[in-house]
A and B are shown apart, each in its own frame.
Chain A
Amino acid sequence: MSILVGKDTRLVVQGITGREGEFHTLRMIEYGTNVVAGVTPGKGGGWVNGVPVFDTIREAVAATEANTSIIFVPARFAPDAMYEAADGGISLIVCITEGIPILDMLKVRAYLDQKGVRLIGPNCPGIITPGECKVGIMPAYIHTPGSVGVISRSGTLTYEVVNELSLRGLGQSTCVGIGGDPIIGSDFIDMLTLFEEDPLTEQVVLIGEIGGSDEERAADFIATNMTKPVTAFIAGRTAPPGKRMGHAGAIISGGTGTAAEKVEALEAVGVKVARHPAEIAELVASRK
């Protein structure tokens, strides 16, 4: 077991003929992910890395029973790709694309919620269940199978943390990058809920950053709903207010969304918060 992706995942790659799509499709196949189809409008009938390409999601699902999609299309076309996946029968969408306008995402999220379709991202590295299935762009070799669930708003910072975990022999059940945008498909609470229910996950690492109040709400949730230990890290203690730190969602606005508030909220409910990335692995190890 694990969460979101695993042996039952049947993946369709939206934007499979693009540079990124083609490159990462091969990496995912090498990892053992069951990539059953690709979609690029106008390129149906072709093949990429041994994967059949379709013009539409509907055709791809009908022919291959794909249940999960990963999106590599440019930001201006990504909302359309998400609507198509949701309407075409996909139940889990992972959107890698960065730079989608926020007003588009408000609509996408509202529509997907209404359809009961789960979205991870956008602006995220994706999901990996080590040893089983990778639906994302993360470097696979740093991951090892195990019992630590990882949830993060970041990309390379997650790799840094996962690498430290693996070096200490702390394998991961599933690692989910939920994305660095202000409006994302799934938040910390959604993922904490799944990890709490997952029998293979023994503890959870939560990697947050400045901006918004997702970490504070996660802290409330942890206090009342989590029996498994959670270790956290919040990036951006030195970030100035009013400046966007790379990620569209990483901004302290109107004095709220600071790292200090998030650390305080998490520590108040008993979550251990690491001061730097390597300390996360130390704290996790101390709980084994």
Chain B
Amino acid sequence: MKLHEYQSKRIFARYGVPIPHGDVASTPDDAYKIAARLGGRVVIKAQVLVGGRGKAGGIKLAQDAAEAEAKASQILGMNIKGLQVRKVLIDEAATDIIKEIYLGITIDRAARRPVMMASAEGGMEIEEVAKAMPERIFKVAIDPFLGLQGYQARELAFGIGLERDLVSSFTKIATGLYNAFVDCDASLAEINPLLVTNQSGGRLSLLAVDGKMIIDDNALFRHSDLAEMRDVDEEAPAETEARCYGLSYVKLDGEIGCMVNGAGLAMATMDIIKLYGGMPANFLDIGGGAQADRVAAALRIILADPKVKAVLFNIFGGITRCDEVAKGILEALEQVSTDVPMVARLVGTNEEEGRHILASAKMATAGSLVEAARKAVELAQAR
């Protein structure tokens, strides 16, 4: 689950990371009030869960409250990569910026450790830095039992050539970020950029002006406060509905809807549709068991996509019995009326009974996955 910039920065602030003064507005009027309270120049930032907000025009500077109101009204309602902007963050604009750095923490799957990374190339996406100049990224792997050690944070600070005066505040920020990462069960916590600014009297200081967090969905059971931060406006409605039914669904752009038990088999089914000349409309894993209401919900979700011209059921019965899945499909069809052609491929436990049940539904059946994919592609192309 991704958190918004303002949510991430508020969490970081609780761990001692300095962030700009600011607040969130959902109307231009609120934006005016916040900007007036902050005084001076402000930055207005669209709160949507995609990258590239700046390039899309979702981040603007304003000199005063009146301009902030005007800019907020431009940004609110804007569509950025398919997501409608419903909230803007109004932050005090940073001044006297000397440089921008990157500081982030994620899990290195191969090393099986949380890895903290820093780079002097702040403001750029870390993946781009990794491609263009990997030698500019400094990394430390963290022992999950020990946590981030001071020397590790200092290695990063010296590695990126940070001014000596800032090393101890950098270490505090790095430690805060690591603690936020662990306490929130995050899979990513990132400050980009972390600004080095020149304060009055020539004193240097650090300021986290943008932040990002991704929380491990599997850990939300112990973070009810974070779970409440989920912004369902940012999800495709079908994905929200699927989650409510315990289905794993991802919308794609093709024309053949897929309903499969098991994630790996669901991916293999998408792939074989493409191999035989079609394109999958979705990934969908109905999981174990085959309760009719779940199958019906899955079917409703698939058919709600107007691009879908055929549906392919691919069920490998093991512990799940094919006849029960077939009954689930029939019950689902009673609830959801449609003329979209369907192909069912049921293999495994009680497959004969399952096929017999589906015969009454005038549904095309297939013995092998290859045959099923071919039939589904033919049916879709005939429409």
Co-complex (A, B): yes
> In chain A between 198 and 239, which residues have their CB closer than 8 angstroms to a CB of chain B?
207, 209-210, 212-214, 217, 233, 235-239
User: What residues of A have a CB within 8 angstroms of the CB of B280 in the complex?
Assistant: 238
B319:A137 contact, CB within 8 angstroms: yes
- Given A103-B144, A160-B316, A278-B368, is A155 in contact with B283 using a C-beta cutoff of 8 Å? no
Scoring B126, B221, B252, B262 by chain A CB atoms within 10 A of each residue's CB, the highest score goes to B262
How many angstroms between the C-alpha atoms of A276 and B274 in the bound complex?
11
B370:A276 contact, CB within 8 angstroms: yes
A103:B369 contact, CB within 8 angstroms: no
Q: Is there a chain A Cβ closer than 8 Å to B162's Cβ?
A: no
Determine how close the nearest CB of chain B comes to the CB of A13; give it in whole angstroms: 16
Q: Is there a chain A Cβ closer than 8 Å to B185's Cβ?
A: yes
Determine how close the nearest CB of chain B comes to the CB of A135; give it in whole angstroms: 15
B348:A245 contact, CB within 8 angstroms: no
Scoring B222, B268, B316 by chain A CB atoms within 10 A of each residue's CB, the highest score goes to B268
Total A residues in contact with B, Cβ cutoff 8 Å? 59
Determine how close the nearest CB of chain B comes to the CB of A253; give it in whole angstroms: 9
B216:A235 contact, CB within 8 angstroms: no
B114:A152 contact, CB within 8 angstroms: no
Count of CB-CB pairs between chains A and B under 8 Å = 171
Determine how close the nearest CB of chain A comes to the CB of B76; give it in whole angstroms: 25
> In chain A between 243 and 288, which residues have their CB closer than 8 angstroms to a CB of chain B?
243-250, 254-255, 259, 275-278
Main secondary structure of the interface of B (DSSP, over half): mixed
Scoring A99, A107, A246, A254 by chain B CB atoms within 10 A of each residue's CB, the highest score goes to A246
Q: Is there a chain A Cβ closer than 8 Å to B26's Cβ?
A: no
Q: Is there a chain A Cβ closer than 8 Å to B229's Cβ?
A: no
B319:A155 contact, CB within 8 angstroms: no
From B127, B187, B271, B273, contact of A236 by CB (8 A): B271
From B107, B130, B145, contact of A107 by CB (8 A): B145
- Given A101-B185, A154-B262, A163-B347, is A110 in contact with B112 using a C-beta cutoff of 8 Å? yes
B185:A103 contact, CB within 8 angstroms: yes
User: What residues of B have a CB within 8 angstroms of the CB of A180 in the complex?
Assistant: 263-264
The chain B residue sitting closest to A104, CB to CB, is B219
Q: Is there a chain B Cβ closer than 8 Å to A109's Cβ?
A: yes
- Given A75-B218, A103-B182, A238-B270, is A249 in contact with B264 using a C-beta cutoff of 8 Å? no
Determine how close the nearest CB of chain A comes to the CB of B157; give it in whole angstroms: 24
How many angstroms between the C-alpha atoms of A104 and B144 in the bound complex?
9
Q: Is there a chain A Cβ closer than 8 Å to B349's Cβ?
A: yes
User: What residues of B have a CB within 8 angstroms of the CB of A247 in the complex?
Assistant: 263-264
Contact with B along A153-190 (1 / 0, CB 8 A): 11111111001000000000000000010110000000
How many angstroms between the C-alpha atoms of A246 and B248 in the bound complex?
6
Determine how close the nearest CB of chain A comes to the CB of B237; give it in whole angstroms: 16
The chain A residue sitting closest to B254, CB to CB, is A238
How many angstroms between the C-alpha atoms of A77 and B150 in the bound complex?
32
User: What residues of A have a CB within 8 angstroms of the CB of B221 in the complex?
Assistant: 75-76
A154:B216 contact, CB within 8 angstroms: no
A102:B216 contact, CB within 8 angstroms: yes
A76:B222 contact, CB within 8 angstroms: yes
The chain B residue sitting closest to A249, CB to CB, is B109
- Given A163-B347, A245-B283, is A139 in contact with B318 using a C-beta cutoff of 8 Å? yes
From B219, B272, B319, contact of A101 by CB (8 A): B219
Q: Is there a chain A Cβ closer than 8 Å to B358's Cβ?
A: no
Q: Is there a chain B Cβ closer than 8 Å to A142's Cβ?
A: yes
B266:A245 contact, CB within 8 angstroms: yes
How many angstroms between the C-alpha atoms of A249 and B145 in the bound complex?
23
A275:B263 contact, CB within 8 angstroms: no
How many angstroms between the C-alpha atoms of A109 and B270 in the bound complex?
33
How many angstroms between the C-alpha atoms of A160 and B317 in the bound complex?
10
Q: Is there a chain A Cβ closer than 8 Å to B285's Cβ?
A: yes
How many angstroms between the C-alpha atoms of A76 and B252 in the bound complex?
32
Would you give 15 A-B contacts (Cβ < 8 Å), ordered by A? A104-B219, A106-B112, A106-B114, A154-B265, A155-B265, A160-B268, A207-B264, A212-B110, A236-B271, A237-B274, A238-B279, A245-B248, A246-B266, A247-B263, A276-B268
Which B residues form the contact surface with A (CB < 8 A)? 107, 109-110, 112-114, 126-127, 130-131, 143-145, 182, 185, 187, 216-219, 221-222, 248, 250, 252, 260-268, 270-275, 279-280, 283, 285, 316-319, 347-349, 368-370, 373
Q: A163-B347, A236-B267 are in contact. List 15 more A-B contacts (CB 8 A).
A: A110-B143, A158-B264, A160-B265, A160-B369, A163-B316, A182-B107, A207-B264, A213-B110, A233-B268, A236-B271, A246-B262, A246-B263, A255-B127, A276-B272, A278-B369
